[in-house]
Amino acid sequence: MLVETRATAQEKKRKHAYIYELAVILTKDTAKQ
């Protein structure tokens, strides 16, 4: 159970990081225009 929980937490962190990076890229693109 602990291993599953830890893996799920890492997946969530990875998704959050991905979304955050996407937001940063979008913000930079908007700033360029």
Tens digit of each residue's pLDDT, the chain (33 residues): 577 788 899 999 999 999 999 999 999 988 877
- Tally of structural domains, the chain: 1
- pLDDT for the residue numbered 1: 59
Q: Which domain holds residue 6?
A: 1-32
Please report which residue ranges of 1-33 form alpha helices under DSSP H.
2-32
Q: Name the pTM for this structure.
A: 0.56
Q: Report the candidate in 29, 32, 4, 6 with the shortest Cα–Cα distance to residue 21.
A: 29
- pLDDT for the residue numbered 32: 79
